[in-house]
Amino acid sequence: MSLAASEADIEIGSRPIGVVFFRRVEQLGERVFIKLQRRDGCTEISWKDFGALVAKTIRGLYSLGLSKGDVVGIVAENCLEWLCADLATLAAGYANVVVSPRLSDARLIKILGHSQARHAFVENKSIALRLGRLRPQLPMLEHIIVMGDSGERCAGVLSFAQLLRLGGENSSLPVHELLEPVREDDLATVIYTSGSTGEPKGVMRTHRNIIANITSGGAITLSKPEEVVALVLNLNHLLGRYGFHKSVVTGRTTALVETTELQLDLETVQGLAPTSMSLVPRVLDKICATIFAMSDLVKAWAELETLDQEKSMRGALDEPAKTRYDSLRRTLSETSSAHSEEDSSIFPMRERRCRQGSCASSS
């Protein structure tokens, strides 16, 4: 398959993200789309299988009576169902609102109430019960769909498995008919952000906005088969979600770790062998601290940083401090080079794949 933008790719560059996704499903079929790392191991999911999951979710939501333009909340941390809920709602023209479950009750009421969310995907039973208690203050909310565990014992709550069964019962309904009315300038998602101060305000983003952020106005280029991005940021974070949407548009394999970004296990990331990942300072600080803690050179790095700060403040170091500064830099540089040559760095990104036996196919 050519890596240059084909005529089909040029065409889908101006289409809603759901159309782009299902085009990739047709093109890439059995190629791995999702590498899912859970506590019990790593599972690989193909474009074809994930496409079928999204299609079932779309049909299930349609069976619940949703119409184009209705708003759906997603109140959860990183998980496979989050990815599915995001794509299904975007594809079918149901504007979504992603919300961190760590927000206060007052903030949840404000966001879900202001956006007039009719349905909400939630991560687990405890969040479903929490939203259930808030329902009197959320008159628009009709259904709560539980992702991570069964909601069958909760009144007024639908489990994700039940939603998929509904979708399966409507398998004769062509998904493309549900995608057809969606247009590039339709509302895709509402992101609530306060900026630096004040109450969160809803930022309205269209499908055209999402695609333009990914392509920067240029043509879409299909990713190489070996490209793997690790999603380690929270998907409720705009940058984390951008990484997923870019994978959808460019056909890139996505490795998802089902954990919070500040509980990241570097050995897990190493096993997924990503070629890239996006980070923010607080996560990078944690990664650096973890790497340093694995080494007996922590004190040397700390001393070098102190001397570097002193040099910046004074403009120069005295002779003994300069000698020590140069010695530390040389030692740490040599150590880094040695680790690189031995291929023992913490992120052997490009060469290693999942450890033998640790990844299984979903099929």
List the chain pLDDT tens, one digit each, 363 residues: 333 344 345 455 568 999 999 999 999 999 999 998 877 778 999 999 999 999 999 999 999 999 999 999 999 999 999 999 999 999 999 999 999 999 999 999 999 999 999 999 999 989 999 999 999 999 999 999 999 765 455 667 899 999 999 999 988 889 999 999 999 999 999 999 876 677 888 999 999 999 999 988 777 888 999 999 998 888 988 888 999 999 999 999 999 987 766 667 777 777 788 899 888 888 888 777 777 666 666 778 788 889 999 998 888 999 999 999 999 888 888 765 554 444 343 333 333 334 434 444 444
- The region that residue 270 occupies, defined by phi over 0 for left and psi between -120 and 50 for alpha, beta otherwise, is alpha
- Print the SS3 string covering 239-259: HHHHHHHHHHHHCCEEEEECC
Per-residue burial over 153-179, b if 16 or more Cβ lie within 10 Å, else e, is eeeebbbbebbbebbeeeeeeebeebb
Structure tokens, 252: 């890139």
DSSP bridge pairs for 43: 36, 360
| 23 C-beta neighbours (distance < 10 Å), count | 17
Strands (E), the chain: 32-38, 41-46, 71-75, 95-99, 117-122, 143-146, 157-159, 187-193, 201-206, 228-231, 253-257, 276-277, 359-361
Please tell me the distance from the alpha carbon of residue 323 to that of residue 316, in angstroms, as a whole number: 12
Sheet containing 32-38: which strands, arranged edge to edge? 276-277, 228-231, 253-257, 32-38, 41-46, 359-361
Which residues lie below 8 Å from residue 267, measured CB to CB, with a gap of 6+?
none
**pLDDT number for residue 363:** 42
Structure tokens, 120: 């909400």
pTM of the model: 0.78
